[in-house]
Amino acid sequence: MPSLKQMALWPSSVRLGCAALLAGLSLALAWLTQLDALVARWQAAQAHTATLRAAHGQAQAKAGQLPQLRARQSEVAATLATLEQQLPLQQEMPSLLSDINQAGLARGLQFELFKPAPPVPQAHYVAMPIAIRVRGGYHALGAFMADLAYLPRIVTVHGLAVQANKEGALTLDAVLHAYRLPDAQERQAMDQRKPARAATPPRPARPFVPFVPRDYSASDLPDPFGAARELPATAGAAAPDPRRVREPLESVALSGMAMVGSLRQHGRLDALLQANGRLYRIATGQYLGPDYGLVTAISEQAIQLREVARDAGGAWRERRASLALQVAGAAAREADK
């Protein structure tokens, strides 16, 4: 067997074969060393390919929605243009304030306060609060509130309160909000305050339903701040039944009662009546007041009564009366809840 110490004496073919063998072993060792790294790179390339395929699929889906997005963009732009027509520019605000004032004067109201406050920028518009105090009749005040909805610009009513003084005159306090488009400086400030939003898939646009104002239609109803309204009496009324057991509220005059609300249960509407510091639930068929007042009908606005009383000649006469909803009392009850 050839000795390694005499390698120089080996034949050339043997030495070349050994050198080739050593080179092959070295290459195999180097390949095994790099194999793990190559496998890791291959797996990373596979994952990247899957990510690219998913992104490509999402891009294709978005491309398929492009016609819908363009149609929605056109729809939203048309809606926005319609809404912006109801928002004046800053230089048009004096005209809007004048329109509000004229709407009240046209109803015969007297303005005791008309005080615009500093504008309050919102997300896409600027609101101007206007504190008002007007004096006039109940139905004139209601018609004025309805007239505000007919203005070509958007005006909303907040914090409405109606009070009657000792003389019976009504005063309405409220805060009106008039809205306008922001100017260039205000719009720039709004854009800077907007937080960055993550991309979200498009949602179906809600249909735009234009606001339709309504006329004031309660002028025929009783004034809730007025006294109980009596209608003409009729002759030949039957005498009340003396055997009927009198109900608790028959000892209270109608002027000492106030309808403060109504309650519907099981399809029946009952009235909520306040008297002697207590709250009563009244149904049709009960009696109110000292004149045998039979409750004939109840609505959300009033209680209708049929009373029977003696006239100057001693004959029984039938007459109609009503108790209207007291707005101030109803508001107080809601606050207590």
- Statement: residue 46 has pLDDT above 70: yes
Distance separating the N- and C-terminal Cα atoms of the chain = 112
Q: What pLDDT band is residue 84 in, cutting at 50, 70 and 90?
A: low
Torsion of CA 99, 101, 104, 106, to 10 degrees: -60
For the chain, state the CA radius of gyration.
43
Residue 41: Cβ within 10 Å count? 11
Beta-bridge mates of residue 268: 265
Quote the CA–CA distance of 283 and 280 in Å, as a whole number. 10
pLDDT of amino acid 316:
85
Q: For residue range 265-294, what is the model confidence (pLDDT) as tens digits?
A: 888 899 999 998 899 999 999 999 999 999
Q: For residue range 301-328, what is the model confidence (pLDDT) as tens digits?
A: 899 999 988 877 778 888 889 998 876 4
Contact yes or no for 121/189 (Cβ under 8 A): yes
| Among candidate residues 96, 156, 148, the one with its CA nearest the CA of residue 129 | 156
pLDDT of amino acid 305:
92
Contact yes or no for 107/100 (Cβ under 8 A): no
Contact yes or no for 97/130 (Cβ under 8 A): yes
- Residues with Cβ within 8 Å of residue 116, at least 6 apart in sequence: 97, 128, 129, 130
pLDDT of amino acid 199:
57
Angle, alpha carbons 76-81-83 (nearest 5°): 95
Residue 199 CA, distance from chain mean position: 27
Specify the range with the lowest mean pLDDT, choosing from 48-52, 229-233, 330-334: 330-334
State mean pLDDT over 114-124: 89
Containing H/E element for 275?
strand 268-275
Q: What are phi and psi of 120, to 5 degrees?
A: -120, 105
Q: For residue range 141-188, what is the model confidence (pLDDT) as tens digits?
A: 988 999 999 888 889 999 989 888 777 678 999 999 998 888 888 877
pLDDT of amino acid 311:
78
Q: What pLDDT band is residue 125 in, cutting at 50, 70 and 90?
A: confident
pLDDT of amino acid 272:
92
pLDDT of amino acid 196:
61
pLDDT of amino acid 131:
95
pTM, 2 dp:
0.48
- The domains of the chain, with CATH numbers, are 90-193 (3.30.70.60), 229-336 (2.30.30.830)
- Statement: residue 197 has pLDDT above 70: no
